[in-house]
Chain A
Amino acid sequence: MVSSATAVAYTETPATSGAISVRNVRRVFVNASGEETVALERVNLEIQPGEMVSLLGPSGCGKSTLMRIIAGLDQPGEGEVVLDGVPITGPHHERGLVFQDPTLFSWLTVKGNVSFGLKARGIKEIAREVDDYIRLVGLEGFQNAYPHQLSGGMAQRVALARALVNHPKVLLLDEPLGALDAFTRMQMQDEILRIWEDRGTTMVFVTHDVDEAIYMSDRIIVMTPRPGKIQEIIEVRLSRPRARNHPDFFLIRSKILEILHFAGEIRENYYL
């Protein structure tokens, strides 16, 4: 479904831009009865330009909160996030965000959704580029479909195309593949990696899936909840393209599972 040889006219973003530094970020939510939830507790993180980083951790450890802060949709109570030396104060099209839920504009067609960013920024000549991105995510023929006519996976791909068409320096992906079946998911992983390699966009990727994190990222940020903080950062020094069945892959995976206390114990007579 996803053509690998799609010609998209990329304007090369120099790999020197797109450096994110998260400095001492703390975010506390207070609910109606005055109880505090520490979503992020003094998080520090340096992300290199053009790096692919994934945030991995159980539900509620603050992954989405961190993404929203980097996107500028949420303000940290303490600390700051800096992009290429400039503190982030609000949302900007140079930082694209694909939400956990695709949130397509239901009154616009696939084409209308994908072209939204360009039109919002007042860019006139968009037809070819929009078509290219629709093709890139394998949705040619669905240009004029409305969101309610799409499957969950298709909707998520539209959301991806909608963010990509803006050529962001930083692309924040909050579990973009969570709703997909295993096969489409692996296909989309390759697609995202291809775009990332072509364009040198800095990507931050939230996932619950350990294998996905290892397959995709340069570094894996393992987070733990209550309070949400970074437990450990694991560098994935595997060459690309990666093989999902390489022995080193398993090694890294068992290391992560140990950190998350899910490794279990290998008993005798366990293997066939």
Chain B
Amino acid sequence: MAFNVAEQETGAGLAGSAYPAAATEPAGQAARALSGRFETGRKVLIRFLPVLAAAGTLSVHLYVPNEQTFAINEEYRKVLAVLLALNVVFFGVSLVPSKLKDWLGENAPLVAAALSLLAIWDLITLKLGLLPLPYFPGPDKVLGALLEDWKLIGTSAFYSLRLLFTGYLFGAAAGLVTGTLMGWSKRWHYWVSPVMKGIGPVPATAWIPLAMVIFPTSFQASSFLVALAVWFPVTVMTGSGIANVRNAFFEVARTLGANERYLIFRVAIPAAFPTIFVGLFMGLGASFLVLIVAEMIGVKAGLGWYISWVQGWAEYAKVYACLGVIALIFSSVIALLFKFRDRALVWQKGLIKW
């Protein structure tokens, strides 16, 4: 949600700044043309930055002598070469006006920075040996670990995602039901809220010993824990979202002939959805945490298990490779949730759209 606000603000800022430029007198035209050319030159340079960065990173890797001479991965230089080639192509594409060009131009500084970070990483590990092995391997070794172990990491990711979705769906569904009941009916609120206030704040991971005893399989136990972690924030936010829906909405709906079921599903829940979404988002964050911890402790599969397993063998390159995969997967899942929100909340956006 914070992202959205920022976007709107920058949008307004750009629109605002367009005015004074258009209002400048003709006398300043030559100067503007000049500064315009300078401006485009600067923009081209910015779009060229990733190429420079990729070339720099590749040269650092190829030509700076290695301090750590142990097991250097040969694939890394190929990947860097591919990255360089790709960025040259992107630069070429970005010379022709298109939507892609704008996107590339916007992200060019970020890409350049990321590539430079790779070079710095390479320098302080492989090249200069400033950090001790095996705890801090260079980028080539992490890539090597990923290439070596991608099958196991992939299977682990599959198990983690299966657990995540099972737990999340059950937890979110249960949270929506209890939250709606609590927000809607005083009696439910009376009975459920003490339970929720008591159990809710207990971190779901604290239930691990109990869950392992109660459920026959560790998959069920950890699904339950993930679900529990999701259930709490979804319940709280749904309950308060529904309790805070303007009473006037219900009154209008009742004079239009809505019965109680219709009021709940067609008025209360949609009206409370912005708040409900906050709960769904918080629940997702909690579920990631519980997922990884549960896998590290109890389950014998998944990314959390993988990390603690390879750590046992002191294969830190694999730990980092797995962390990268976790970052990629979890941020994609969050992006997916936001996509869903944008769908559900078109009515809330300031965009003119019909």
A interface residues (Cβ-Cβ under 8 A, vs B)? 71-73, 90-93, 95-97, 99, 101, 103, 105-109, 116-117, 119-121, 142-149, 162-163, 166
Contact = CB atoms under 8 A, between A and B. Distances in A.
B251 interface: yes
B271 A107 contact: yes
B267 interface: yes
B255 A148 contact: no
Given A108-B347, A109-B354, A149-B354, A120 B252 contact: no
A120 B354 contact: no
Contact of B255 (A71, A106, A143, A149): A71
A95 B256 contact: no
B257 A117 contact: yes
A96 B255 contact: yes
A148 B347 contact: yes
Interface of chain A, helix or strand or loop or mixed? loop
Nearest to B252: A103
A116 B255 CA distance: 11
Q: Say which size band chain B's interface belongs to.
A: 20 to 34
Interface stretch (B20-28, B75-83, B258-266, B310-318): B258-266
Given A148-B347, A149-B352, A166 B248 contact: no
B32 interface: no
B259 A73 contact: no
Nearest to A73: B251
A80 B347 CA distance: 41
Given A103-B248, A107-B270, A146-B347, A97 B255 contact: yes
**Residue of A93, A97, A108, A146 with highest tally of chain B CB at under 10 A:** A146
B257 A93 contact: yes
A161 B352 CA distance: 23
B249 interface: yes
A124 B120 CA distance: 66
Interface in B329-354: 346-348, 350, 352, 354
B261 to A, nearest CB: 10
